[in-house]
Structure 1
């Protein structure tokens, strides 16, 4: 009963603003839900310069007249901060799809793509890209897939001892985007099977692993504090209501 209450509480995530901290099965998570229209990928500025830190991401979004509420680092990247696979920012493909084989989490097939298109948000298998009839405006490729159509990645083992700090992103059945990251000070970390199950318990049928030890999710004053370099960012921006909806 206690686990059921925890999961039901976790599913009632805040609609943007600051992430909510929840303890589930002994793991402390930062959880946040947002509308697809609030998601922005951030890697390059208007002049083509690379955006590497949280303050730079905030400055870029401000220059685009956007107000970031929460920013989380994006997918796995190569030396020099180059995304390991597809990166689409505001409708522009900045790095291409990477279907190659290799070692490490990114290449643990199936890997996948989180995207925002004219039909909403989705997480798909890399082999399913590009989705037919969808105009993609934001996308990031990473790996492995955590969930696809409600099925946990076949390589994950429930009893795996590989427990690490992790972050990921999923899409709930109603189209809501769900961001999740373990707390760096959590007394316990999840293995990949448990991390995938978290997204399933939060109502997601599809979810994608983003990164590991370096992962950060920031909101409020923390957005402006110095940070180390990252390869890309996923921002949740303040929703702008039409004038006729303003209070």
Structure 2
């Protein structure tokens, strides 16, 4: 694959907290080197005890950076947001969340959205159709306020990523789930204008995008990555027209099929991808 080298203003984003733990299971090159397999590998099958469970996630390498790509499809999965037990404080970790839920029902879970010191979302947040936080259109500093930021939301089998402005102007009905974060990585097929191709700000990061088939692509890096490289992965390899940055350094994944449970700094909102009952996994 041929990439043009661009020089754009550097976007210095990210925090300085320790990166989460968690090792990739398998790696597939998709950067055009000899012997490279398909850029969109299918989920892997991993043995857990005596039962074979298909993993929705596959580890890959994009331009020498290891990533884990998890695919949620409407036919096989349900999406929801979770902050904490009803009426209680946020979970603050996937370890706490996993201890409160049956692993065999979960395809994977990941942190999803920015939060305050108590772990509560600082932007739009809807859980089970209940809006717990209103849309945040304020200006400010940091990743969240790097406009345009955006919203990942959905109801039933329809999932979307829209910029905050687009969401405010065009979404009239409250979705079943929603989380606001920022910045957008890809907007209508174009990279965020303030993101350079491969800037010096590099941390473990995660993001989400929805393709034209309605599938949600969740990506978490297994090593430090720039905003530009993560954005280009969504645009060039996943062909996603709209992708949203979820967070960095606190980024964590729980993938029961491979026994991956990341630990690290406290998190806030969690996106949960459940297997549907008619799934034959």
Q: State if a TM-score over 0.5 links the two structures.
A: yes
Query: Which residue among 64, 67, 72 is the counterpart of 1:29?
Result: 67
Partner of 2:12: none
Query: Which residue among 165, 176, 189 is the counterpart of 1:150?
Result: 189
1:105 aligns with 2:143: yes
Query: Which residue among 175, 179, 191 is the counterpart of 1:140?
Result: 179
1:162 aligns with 2:201: yes
Secondary structure of residue in 1 paired with 2:241: strand
Moved more, 225-234 or 168-177: 225-234
- Distance in 2 of aligned mates of 1:134 and 1:7: 44
- Distance in 2 of aligned mates of 1:7 and 1:151: 26
1:210 aligns with 2:250: no
Partner of 1:55: 95
1:196 aligns with 2:231: yes
RMSD: 2.7
What is the CA-CA distance between 1:122 and the residue it aligns to?
0.7
Partner of 1:231: 268
Query: Residues 166 and 174 from structure 1, CA distance in 2 versus in 1: closer, same or farther, beyond 3 angstroms?
Result: same
- Distance in 2 of aligned mates of 1:66 and 1:137: 23
- Distance in 2 of aligned mates of 1:28 and 1:209: 17
What is the CA-CA distance between 1:90 and the residue it aligns to?
1.2
Partner of 1:39: 79
Partner of 2:216: 177
Query: Residues 35 and 246 from structure 1, CA distance in 2 versus in 1: closer, same or farther, beyond 3 angstroms?
Result: closer
Query: Residues 60 and 88 from structure 1, CA distance in 2 versus in 1: closer, same or farther, beyond 3 angstroms?
Result: farther
Partner of 2:115: 77
Secondary structure of residue in 2 paired with 1:56: helix
Partner of 2:129: 91
Query: Residues 175 and 121 from structure 1, CA distance in 2 versus in 1: closer, same or farther, beyond 3 angstroms?
Result: same
The structure whose residues are more often helix, as a share, is: 1
Deviations 1:140-180 (A, max 9, x none): 10000001111110111114222221100110111100000
Deviations 1:96-119 (A, max 9, x none): 111101100000000000111256
Question: Any unmatched runs of 5+ in structure 1?
Answer: none
Moved more, 5-14 or 197-206: 5-14
Secondary structure of residue in 2 paired with 1:173: coil
Query: Residues 13 and 155 from structure 1, CA distance in 2 versus in 1: closer, same or farther, beyond 3 angstroms?
Result: farther
